[in-house]
Amino acid sequence: MNNQDFKLRQNKILNFANELENESEAFAMLISKGMGKPIRESRGEVLNSISMCRSFASFIDDHQAQTAIAVGKNNVEIERIPLGNVIGIMPFNYPLWQVIRFAIPAYLAGNHVTIRPDPCFFDALPLLRDCFQKTDLSGAFTCIEDEPNQLKNDILMQKYDGLAFTGSVETGRKVAALCGEALIPYTLELGGSDAYIVCEDIDIDRNAKTIVRKRMENAGQSCISSKRILVHESILDKWVEATKGYLTQYIPADPTDDKTYLGPLVHENATRKLKDQVERGLKEGAELLYGSVDAIEGRNFPPMMLKVKGDCPTLRQEELFGPVITVIPFSKDGEAIAIANETDFGLGGAVFTNDLKRADNIADAMNTGMVAINQALYSHPEVPFGGIKNSGVSFECGREAINLFTHPKAIWKRT
C-alpha cells in the first residue's frame, strides 16, 4: 500500500470519527442498556473511541515504508503486506472501545476487517453499520453476529487470514488452538489480576480515592482494574477506613440514570461466579471488611472489600471480575513484589510511593506488560497495551498495532 492509499484510509477514518461523534449519545445509551455500564462511563467510552480513531488517523505512514538493507552484493527491500481478511472477536466490557482498538489499525494496514462483537452490543450494530455506510467504509468492514460454532467452522476453513480475540483465558486457549490448526496468526488479550502496591509514605486519602474509583469503574469488569491491593502494614488500618468512606458512594442503580456511579454486572452468571469466589475466599480465611454477601441481588453486586489472611488462593491468584477489593498486607518491598508476581497473570499493575527510585525498582521487578507509578493504569491509543503469561499474546495500540496484521516481504535485488 502506497502513501497515497494510506492517507485516503486515514481521511476515511477521520470522517468515521465524526459520524461516531454525531451519534455519540445513541451509542452511549446502547452500551448502558446492553451491558449495564453507567451512562456517564458509556459516554466516556464513546469519546475515547473517537479519540482512538483520530489518533491513528494522525500517524505518519512509517509503518509500511520500505526499508532496505545491504546483504553482500544484494540490496534487500522489505515491505509490509496486509494479511487480507482479519476478524476481531470482542468482549462485553468495553464493547465499542475494544472494537475500535482492533478494527481501525487493522484497516489502516490494508486489511478487510470483520467484527464480531459480544451479543450485548448486537443492538448497536445497525447504527455502527450506518456510520460505516455514510463514510464509504461499508465495503471495508463487515459486522457479524455468528454463533460460536459458526465462527469455529469459519476459522478452520481458513475464511480469515488473521484473528484478534479479547476474553477469558479458557476461551483464549481454545481460540489459539483453532488458529494453530488453521495456521493463521492471532493476538490474544485475556485476563488480569493487577496488583497495586501501596507503600507507607503516600497520601492515604488520595490513594484510597484513586483505587476505589479505578476498581468501581465499569463495576469492576475491567482487565486492568485495581484488583489486588497490597498495602504496607504500617498504614493498613488508616487506609482501610479511608477506602470504606469512598465505597459508600457506590450503590448499584439504573445505568441509564446520570446520577448512577455503579451499574449491575453484565448478567446473572457473572454475579453467581463472583459471589462463589467471595464465598470461597471467606472459607479460606479472608476477612470481610466492607459489604455483605446477603446484599447481592440479581445482577446488582454492591461493593465489597476483603482482607486476605494466609494463603487464600482464590483471592490471591484468581481474577475477580466485579466490584470487590482484595487487600493484602505486606511489610517489605520484596514480599510485595513476590505476591504481585505469584499469579498466572501478567497484564498490568501499579506502585504508589513518594520515593521515585523505589518506585522504579518495584516497577522493574513486577512481571507484567504494563506498570503505572503513582496513578491508576489506563489504555491509551499511542501506548502499547498487553500482557504476558496468561494475560495474552502480543500487544495492541501504539504505532506497532498497525503492523499486527501484516507480514514482512523481502525483495532481493542483485546489485
Q: Which residues are catalytic?
A: 189, 223
The separation between CA 409 and the C-alpha centre of its own chain, rounded to angstroms, equals: 31
Q: List strand residue ranges (DSSP E) for 50-161, in order.
A: 67-71, 74-82, 85-89, 112-116, 141-143
> 9: closest CA among 136, 193, 154?
136
Q: Are 175 and 147 in contact (CB under 8 A)?
A: no
Residue type, 415: T
CA-based nearest residue to 400, from 64, 85, 22, 170? 64
Amino acid at 282: L
Which helix (H) or strand (E) element contains residue 50? helix 39-58
Quick check: helix, strand or coil at residue 402?
helix
Contact 330, 232 (CB under 8 A): yes
Nearest partner of 11 among 48, 72, 53, 74, judged by Cα:
53
Instruction: Output the nine-digit C-alpha cell for 121.
Output: 452490543
User: Which among 15, 131, 5, 7 has a CA at the least distance from the CA of 59?
Assistant: 7
* Residue 75, strand partner residues: 70, 413
**Could you give the residue ranges of the DSSP H alpha helices within 135-168?**
148-156
